[in-house]
A and B are shown apart, each in its own frame.
Chain A
Amino acid sequence: MPAARQATSLHRRLLIAGGIGLAAFLGLTGVVLDAAFRDSARAAVQDRLQGQVYALLAAAELADDGTLMIPAGLPEERLSRPGSGLYAGVFGTDFKWLSDSALGVDLPWERGLDPGESRFSGPLASDAGTVFRLGQGVAWETDASGSVRFTFDVMESTAVFHEQVDRFRRTLWIWLGAAALVLLGLQYALQRWTLKPLRAVSAELEEVEAGRQEALHGRYPAELAAFRDHLNAFIQAEREHLKRYRNTLADLAHSLKTPLAVLRGGLSGGGPSSEDLPRLRGQVDRMDELVAYRLKRAAHAGGRTLGAGTRVAPVAEQVTSALEKVHAGRGLRCELALDPEAEFPGEEGDLYELLGNLADNAFKWARGRVRVTARAVPADRRHGLELAVEDDGPGMPPGKFDELVRRGARGDERKPGQGLGLAMVDDIVRAYGGKLSSETGALGGARVVVRFPGR
């Protein structure tokens, strides 16, 4: 059989999930911060260009002929240095002034803005690379010719802006990456610590499997303590099972040898004589019962410790209706008083066995009535169960019940031909920690009661 691919380990799952979460979170943070920084850097460029415009306005003087005088030595030296990346220009009707830095460079000037109108745009493509541009419309009042309009333009290469953004980006991602590494490391350590009990369980299980340890002994956090207890109970039950199988097989082998010896003796020396036959037949019957009882006893599950119980009502209804069919014609009346809450603390097959044997006896002995009652006995965690099967037959003389129950104790001492039902039932009841007892019932016949304590 090809080995099933093992599922991803818990540790790896947590790391993958944590890693993806972290990457998404930090990535998003980075993108948002980056966008915010770009916006603010752009706003800073706008402020700076506005400042240049104001400086130009302050330096400019209106001549009488309605043109502007802009002094050569402007405070911003970059305007005087060609190729500095900062350009200015003033445009009016029949007037144009360009800063020294803008001479001979083809730039996308803004002209004809209305007075008071300010327009920031960019990045724009130009001969001198991409630029930001701020245009401001201005009107000058003159004594002679009234109002004269100009547009003051200032442009700056985007190189500075890009450099700033790039620098910020580099720093940002370096820090985010470092944070991610630290967080991942932290998560890894935390996980190792949290999952340590699980690793301990699996190590202990290996020890149990190898037979070096009887059960899980480690101290575990509350979440795992219940698991450990269940597992221990399970291991214990499994061990008992195995023991029972071994004992059964040993007993069986042992007790089969006697009748086998008798048979072999009877068959040797020219075959059995006719007076030997009943004796030999008796041995065959004995072997048959040994096989039936001993093997069945080992096979019943018993002592289930995990999982829910089995509801009594449906099984009891099926068993009694089946028996009613078998005993049809005897006119028996079967009364059921079944608490729907009543639960047998074990496997369905065992409940069938238990009820089947008890009800079978009751149907066999009953004169006219059989009654099966099941009642849940309230308890904290798991309800107890009281199960009674009674009939209106002749009942059992004192001592008979114990004798019937004990009959299972040593199979090889039994006389053949006697029922084993009660011994069987007692085995099952015991396996689940219950008690079997007999009383005189209200119907006048035998009343067999099975009680399982609640928890």
Chain B
Amino acid sequence: MRVLVVEDDDALRGDLVRRLGEKGFAVESAADGEEGLYFGREFPFDAGVIDLGLPGLSGMSLIQRLREEEVRFPILILTARDRWQDKVEGLRAGADDYLTKPFHVEELLARLNALMRRSAGWAKPVLEAGPIQLDTSSQEVRLDGESLELTGFEYKVLEYLMLHSGEVISKSDLTEHLYQQDFERDSNVIEVFIGRLRRKLDPRGRLNPIQTLRGRGYRFALERSTG
């Protein structure tokens, strides 16, 4: 999942980038509104975390501009001013949720996960399709109720495919959304991960949860069991 962080406080921004990175997010960060606007326009993000009190272009205006330009990824606002009027204005400007500083990073992660899930059309934190259950809050995957051992990256690939189940996801989509911007992109690595995922999810080869569409990409093909 690619996340945009716009925060002017260096310490907090560094902390966010580090913690989100640890949780497997591909993070781009900007220290002011203008840079944030540039990133928001140029890259396909899955979510954004935007501080309202930015120098120059304010967080509120940044959100408005992004929404005016049809940038649709869900946005979580951070605000130090714990006033309802500010929260309401931020949400009206186009944000989807808010968090008041200071906050626990766990809370931020939970909110971000919920936002991304919701924007992909999943209402509950546990994504279910056939015998596969993926818990976005504990990052656990179960097959027929049995816990599966997945690496962090395998989990991210599966989460992305499941969130967008039914859609065709190209290899470049996957690299764009799962890799850090300055990371060496090697689409062969994706094939390797998909192969491993298939073996883990479908050891007997009768489920075929991840289809390959030649030249186009992959599709998570199991029907959603939950909304």
A353 and B98 alpha carbons, distance in the complex (Å)? 15
State whether the Cβ of B192 lies closer than 8 Å to any Cβ in chain A.
no
What sequence of 0s and 1s flags, for each residue 340-360 of chain A, a beta carbon within 8 Å of any chain B beta carbon? 000000001100110111000
Across the interface, do B85 and A352 meet the contact criterion of CB distance under 8 Å? Answer: yes
Max chain A Cβ within 10 angstroms of own Cβ: one of B82, B92, B118: B82
The interface residues of chain B lying within 8 Å CB-to-CB of A318 are 88, 92
Nearest opposing residue in chain B for A348, CB measure: B85
A304 and B123 alpha carbons, distance in the complex (Å)? 43
**CB of A263, distance to nearest CB on chain B (Å):** 15
Across the interface, do A328 and B83 meet the contact criterion of CB distance under 8 Å? Answer: no
What sequence of 0s and 1s flags, for each residue 75-88 of chain B, a beta carbon within 8 Å of any chain A beta carbon? 00000001111011
**CB of A405, distance to nearest CB on chain B (Å):** 18
Across the interface, do A319 and B88 meet the contact criterion of CB distance under 8 Å? Answer: yes
State whether the Cβ of B102 lies closer than 8 Å to any Cβ in chain A.
yes
Across the interface, do A326 and B98 meet the contact criterion of CB distance under 8 Å? Answer: yes
What sequence of 0s and 1s flags, for each residue 24-51 of chain B, a beta carbon within 8 Å of any chain A beta carbon? 0000000000000000000000000000
What sequence of 0s and 1s flags, for each residue 96-120 of chain B, a beta carbon within 8 Å of any chain A beta carbon? 1110101000000000001000100
A348 and B83 alpha carbons, distance in the complex (Å)? 11
The interface residues of chain A lying within 8 Å CB-to-CB of B84 are 319, 352-353, 355-357
**Contacts A288-B102, A329-B118, A330-B123: A322 and B88 contacting too (C-beta < 8 A)?**
yes
State whether the Cβ of B150 lies closer than 8 Å to any Cβ in chain A.
no
Of A325, A330, A331, A353, which one neighbours B96 at CB under 8 angstroms? A325
Across the interface, do A325 and B91 meet the contact criterion of CB distance under 8 Å? Answer: yes
Across the interface, do B85 and A349 meet the contact criterion of CB distance under 8 Å? Answer: yes
Which range contains the number of A residues in contact with the other chain?
20 to 34
A355 and B102 alpha carbons, distance in the complex (Å)? 23
A328 and B96 alpha carbons, distance in the complex (Å)? 9
Across the interface, do B82 and A326 meet the contact criterion of CB distance under 8 Å? Answer: no
What sequence of 0s and 1s flags, for each residue 28-69 of chain A, a beta carbon within 8 Å of any chain B beta carbon? 000000000000000000000000000000000000000000
**CB of B115, distance to nearest CB on chain A (Å):** 10
**CB of B158, distance to nearest CB on chain A (Å):** 21
**CB of B11, distance to nearest CB on chain A (Å):** 15
The interface residues of chain A lying within 8 Å CB-to-CB of B118 are 328-329
Of B83, B96, B98, which one neighbours A352 at CB under 8 angstroms? B83
Nearest opposing residue in chain A for B114, CB measure: A329
A296 and B84 alpha carbons, distance in the complex (Å)? 11
**Contacts A288-B102, A349-B83, A352-B83: A329 and B88 contacting too (C-beta < 8 A)?**
no
Which range contains the number of B residues in contact with the other chain?
10 to 19
Q: Which of A95-110 contact B (CB under 8 A)?
A: none
Nearest opposing residue in chain B for A326, CB measure: B97
State whether the Cβ of A160 lies closer than 8 Å to any Cβ in chain B.
no
The interface residues of chain B lying within 8 Å CB-to-CB of A357 are 84
Across the interface, do B91 and A326 meet the contact criterion of CB distance under 8 Å? Answer: yes
A136 and B28 alpha carbons, distance in the complex (Å)? 116
State whether the Cβ of A262 lies closer than 8 Å to any Cβ in chain B.
no
The interface residues of chain B lying within 8 Å CB-to-CB of A321 are 92
A319 and B86 alpha carbons, distance in the complex (Å)? 11
A352 and B100 alpha carbons, distance in the complex (Å)? 16
Across the interface, do A356 and B91 meet the contact criterion of CB distance under 8 Å? Answer: no
Of A292, A325, A329, which one neighbours B123 at CB under 8 angstroms? A329
The interface residues of chain B lying within 8 Å CB-to-CB of A292 are 82, 100
The interface residues of chain B lying within 8 Å CB-to-CB of A328 are 96, 118
Of B85, B96, B123, which one neighbours A326 at CB under 8 angstroms? B96
Q: Which of B173-200 contact A (CB under 8 A)?
A: none
**CB of B64, distance to nearest CB on chain A (Å):** 15
A353 and B88 alpha carbons, distance in the complex (Å)? 10
**Contacts A292-B82, A296-B82, A328-B118: A322 and B123 contacting too (C-beta < 8 A)?**
no
Nearest opposing residue in chain B for A318, CB measure: B88
The interface residues of chain B lying within 8 Å CB-to-CB of A348 are 85
Nearest opposing residue in chain B for A355, CB measure: B84
**CB of A336, distance to nearest CB on chain B (Å):** 15
**CB of A313, distance to nearest CB on chain B (Å):** 14
Max chain B Cβ within 10 angstroms of own Cβ: one of A325, A330, A353, A355: A325
The interface residues of chain B lying within 8 Å CB-to-CB of A288 are 102
**CB of B111, distance to nearest CB on chain A (Å):** 9
What sequence of 0s and 1s flags, for each residue 314-342 of chain A, a beta carbon within 8 Å of any chain B beta carbon? 00001101100110111100000000000
Nearest opposing residue in chain B for A357, CB measure: B84
A296 and B100 alpha carbons, distance in the complex (Å)? 13
The interface residues of chain A lying within 8 Å CB-to-CB of B123 are 329-331
Q: Can you list 9 pairs linking A and B with CB atoms under 8 Å apart?
A: A322-B88, A326-B96, A326-B97, A328-B96, A330-B123, A348-B85, A349-B83, A349-B85, A353-B85
The 10 nearest A-B residue pairs measured at CB: A356-B84, A322-B91, A352-B84, A352-B85, A329-B118, A322-B88, A329-B123, A353-B84, A318-B88, A326-B97
Known: A319-B84, A326-B96, A349-B83. 13 other contacts (CB 8 A): A288-B102, A292-B82, A292-B100, A296-B82, A318-B92, A319-B88, A322-B92, A328-B96, A330-B123, A348-B85, A353-B83, A356-B88, A357-B84
Seen from chain A, the residues whose Cβ lies within 8 Å of a Cβ on chain B are 288, 292, 296, 318-319, 321-322, 325-326, 328-331, 348-349, 352-353, 355-357
